[in-house]
Chain A
Amino acid sequence: MATPRQIRARIRTAKNIQQITKAMKMVAAARLRRAQEAVGAARPYAEKMREVMASLSSGSDGVQHPLLRKIEGEPKKIGLILITADRGLAGAYNSSVIKRAVELVRPYGPEHVKIVSVGKKGAVFFKRRGFSVVSENPVPQTGISFLDAQTLSRTARRLFEDGEIDALYVIYTQFVSAMTQRPQTVQILPLQALESAADAKPGPKADYIFEPNPEQILSSLLPRYVDTQVFQSVIESVASEHGARMTSMSAATDNAGKMISGLTLTLNRARQAAITKEIAEIVGGAEALK
């Protein structure tokens, strides 16, 4: 059995860990609130964007645009925007995203996949396995701006426009609540939004005046649509990351607490046993002197 001294050392360790996890939990909670606000603030724009797309797609048929380029058969080379965290200790957050990514790229092999990564964890994982990571970006600590997302999305769009990839996917984590986050795989390019947007809003449309014309508007709208989707994925992922970290750190704090109380009990027992033993010895010694 461990000596009281060893047990005390372990209690101290557990207490230190508990303090750290508690602090991390609090930091994550504060960041989560801000990230959630960003998700909420981005929603009206995204919704409006979809509405505009819907009205436009009814007014313009057969638009030619590089982002609408379809390829024959199955895509052979794909691009992937992979959104993970820079750091671990966020529960299953990183691993579930990476697991999704591994499934997605398996049929293509390392030489046919180009990765644009946000967050160190995903980049490190795929680089070690010989994938080409064309662009590495940190997760912005102060909250991502639309400009950051645009830069990111532009890199990926260019790969597609230049024919380096046939399809572009994004893997991110959908923010359901602070407790629940769902990894999602979404195909962004070639754009399929046009058809679905048109389906989503049936019925008579307002008779718009288009200036200059629907095609022109659409062609400047499409890249922005992609940017918006990327932006949305990133902010949802950031919110999810903080949510996952908060939940897992909260669990870690609880576990440390349980461990401390267990160890304290063992310590008290050991102390009691030592005292009992000493008394027995004294009594035994006194008895022998009689």
Chain B
Amino acid sequence: MASQYTLDVVTPERIMLSDQVVSTVAPGYEGQLGILAGHAPLMTELVPGEVRVTLADGRTTSHIIISGGFMEVTAERTTILADFAERIDEIDITRAEADLAAARQMLAEADAGSAQAAEAKQALAHAETRIRASRNA
């Protein structure tokens, strides 16, 4: 079938997913992005959020929470480079809440507009997404 392609989701700690997929919906910098087979080459930044993947059988979906990263789309394959990635059922909600508190504190201490503040905001968004996603799951 021509309408599938290879998707790799890699983090520094492991290869999260490497499989034939039909579609990927990722939280792009300028909004949600859907990637189907044959998409034009694309390089984008991803914001913290949820990646929804439909596997090659067309039914199974996989939800992965990422903390932001990059996505490269080429003719043959799509690669998501994420700092952290978790399947929804792997999320440890107590840890996520602890991270949220830590991120809030970091944001409060950082100077507005600095690189620290930007990092803190990202951590905050990631923690929030994780909590929301695991509550809904």
Binding site for B on A (CB under 8 A): 38, 41-42, 44-46, 48-49, 51-52, 55-56, 66, 145-147, 149-150, 154, 158, 161, 206-212, 214, 216-217, 220-221, 223-224, 227-228, 231
> What per-residue 1/0 map shows which CB atoms of B63-90 lie under 8 Å from chain A?
0000001101011000101011000000
**Which residues 1-31 in B have Cβ within 8 Å of A in the complex?**
8, 10-15, 28-30
Q: Which B residues have a C-beta under 8 Å from some C-beta of A?
A: 8, 10-15, 28-30, 40-45, 69-70, 72, 74-75, 79, 81, 83-84, 115-116, 119
A212 contacts B29, CB within 8 Å? Answer: yes
Is the Cβ of B79 less than 8 Å from the Cβ of A48? yes
Assess the A146–B70 pair: CB atoms within 8 A: no
Considering residues B70, B74, B75, which has the most beta carbons from chain A within 10 angstroms of its beta carbon? Answer: B70
Given A41-B13, A161-B115, A212-B30, 16 further pairs, Cβ under 8 A = A38-B13, A44-B8, A44-B10, A45-B10, A48-B8, A51-B72, A145-B13, A146-B11, A149-B12, A158-B116, A208-B43, A211-B29, A216-B29, A217-B43, A217-B44, A227-B83
The 8 A-B residue pairs whose C-beta atoms are closest, nearest first, are: A211-B44, A206-B41, A146-B12, A209-B42, A208-B43, A45-B12, A45-B10, A208-B41
Is A224's CB under 8 angstroms from B44's CB? no
Report yes or no: A210 in contact with B44, Cβ–Cβ below 8 A: yes
Q: Chain B residue with minimal CB distance to A206?
A: B41
Q: What's the minimum C-beta distance from B16 to chain A, rounded to whole angstroms?
A: 10
| Known contacts A44-B15, A211-B30, A224-B83; is-contact A206 B119 (Cβ 8 Å) | no
How close is B14's CB to chain A, nearest CB, in angstroms?
A: 5
21 example contacts (A-B, Cβ-Cβ < 8 A) are as follows A41-B13, A41-B15, A42-B12, A44-B10, A46-B12, A48-B8, A49-B81, A51-B72, A52-B43, A55-B43, A66-B115, A145-B13, A146-B11, A149-B12, A208-B41, A208-B42, A208-B43, A209-B42, A212-B44, A216-B29, A224-B69
Once A216-B45, A220-B45 are accepted as A-B contacts, the answer to whether A150 and B15 lie under 8 Å apart by CB is no
Q: Are A209 and B45 in touch, CB under 8 angstroms? A: no
CB-nearest residue of chain A to B39: A209
The residue on B at minimum CB distance from A211 is B44
In the bound assembly, the distance between CA atoms of A250 and B131 in angstroms comes to: 48
Known A-B contacts A208-B41, A211-B30, A211-B43; A45 and B11 likewise in contact (beta carbons under 8 Å): yes
Min CB–CB distance B125 → chain A (angstroms): 14
CB closest residue in chain A, given B28: A211
Bound CA–CA A224/B43 (angstroms): 16
Q: In the complex, which residues of chain A have a beta carbon less than 8 angstroms from the beta carbon of B12?
A: 42, 45-46, 146, 149, 228, 231
Measured between alpha carbons, how far is A214 from B43 in the docked complex, in Å?
8
